[in-house]
Amino acid sequence: MRIGELARQAGTTTRTLRYYEARGLLPARRAENGYRRYDEEDLRLLHQIRLLQDFGFELEETRPFVDCLRAGHSSGDACPASLDVYRRKLAELDAVIGRLGQVREQMSAQLARAELEASAATPPAPRCELTQAAPKGHTRGADDGADE
Amino acid sequence: MRIGELARQAGTTTRTLRYYEARGLLPARRAENGYRRYDEEDLRLLHQIRLLQDFGFELEETRPFVDCLRAGHSSGDACPASLDVYRRKLAELDAVIGRLGQVREQMSAQLARAELEASAATPPAPRCELTQAAPKGHTRGADDGADE
DNA sequence: GTAGACCTTGACCCTGACGTCAACGCCAGC
DNA sequence: GCTGGCGTTGACGTCAGGGTCAAGGTCTAC
């Protein structure tokens, strides 16, 4: 099949496939007219890549899995190199989750404290527009209509 | 104080301060010779920015806090806009942590399955080099040597 | 009066994973 | 024989948060 077809089947874009080829991750055979040609095997490799990408793998980190599949294994994680990547990513993941959990706790504490202070203290500087929604003042510099 | 001094006191770089100024986040007064001039207040604003950055805030998301401090409040989260950002980030954080937790579970299950298969099945294609990354048995995980 | 530290602006470079254009080749259908 | 849809390569843009020059102005100390 050609590049557009593969992209559709894998739910990605031709640009992405060319990018993968440029990275050497998913090289393509060429037809006589220069068009890239792919087969079902490439679709499998591509599925593997996308799956790992969804897991948050960088492109380079999917390479051992792709190589493993290409070497004839039925699954991309049948090779030691892939397992190493799994273990490393797992450790990274734990570190990130731990860090985010800490941040979450700190932020939530900050929020609780700030909400408490906001409800307890009637604003000591009641003429400051920033503490109120937007009754009349226009002290916020240039126009700032951008609300998300 | 001048830009170099502020950078030193805040543990950042002059490039970063100019970047913040270009973003309109931390504008500087100018001396007659054109040099940027900062005071203790700017140092406080900068501390606020760096703290939130450490929490994983994008630069733009620190703006309400900075504006709040600049409006005279003793803490950057004393204004409703800041609280909104807190709440939004907290929700984002929960979503990300949840997602990462799922990914962690899936990956760990994949790893367990793959390890099991690797140990159970003596490689059906023993002449494939990809299944033998290291010269001697290296099938045991928990390698701690190769860190960046 | 000059070295050297500090400041200025401007411009280009980096990462990751692509998006978007431009300009052109190939091919099928009418 | 022309239109339209595919394909090709190449180059540049994006986003964040800066890093790293380069060329030159300013200030302070000796």
The domain that holds A19 is classified in CATH as 1.10.1660.10
The pLDDT of residue B140 is above 70 = no
- B9 in a domain, yes or no? yes
CB contact under 8 A, B78 and A128: no
User: Could you report the per-residue pLDDT of B96-136, keeping only the tens digit for each?
Assistant: 898 889 889 999 998 999 888 877 765 555 444 444 443 33
CA atoms within 13 A on the CB side of A35: 10
- A83 in a domain, yes or no? yes
Residue A137 region by backbone torsions, left for phi larger than 0, else alpha for psi between -120 and 50, else beta: beta
Give the nearest partner residue to A71 out of B71, B96, B128, using CB atoms: B128
CB contact under 8 A, A78 and B117: yes
How far apart CA A44 and CA A25 sit, in angstroms, is 13
Q: What is the spatial distance, in angstroms and rounded to an integer, between the CA atom of B41 and the C1' atom of C6?
A: 23
Q: What is the domain extent for residue B65?
A: 3-121
Q: What is the spatial distance, in angstroms and rounded to an integer, between the CA atom of B140 and the C1' atom of D4?
A: 58
- B114 in a domain, yes or no? yes
Give the nearest partner residue to A97 out of B71, B101, B111, using CB atoms: B101
Q: What is the pLDDT of residue A136?
A: 34
Within 7 Å of a protein beta carbon, the nucleotides of strand D are 6-9, 16-20, 25-27
B134 and chain A in contact, CB less than 8 A: yes
Give the mean model confidence (pLDDT) for residues B58-67: 90
- B93 in a domain, yes or no? yes
Lookup: nucleotide whose C1' is closest to B49 CA = D17
Q: What is the pLDDT of residue A3?
A: 92
How far apart CA B42 and CA B50 sit, in angstroms, is 12
Average confidence score pLDDT of chain B:
80
- A136 in a domain, yes or no? no
Number of domains comprising chain A: 1
Question: Cα Rg for chain A, rounded, in angstroms?
Answer: 26
The pLDDT of residue A140 is above 50 = no
- B132 in a domain, yes or no? no
Q: How far is B67 from chain A, CA to nearest CA, in Å?
A: 8
Give the mean model confidence (pLDDT) for residues A58-72: 90
User: Could you report the per-residue pLDDT of B24-53, keeping only the tens digit for each?
Assistant: 899 999 888 888 999 999 999 999 999 999
User: Could you report the per-residue pLDDT of A94-117, keeping only the tens digit for each?
Assistant: 988 888 888 899 999 999 999 888
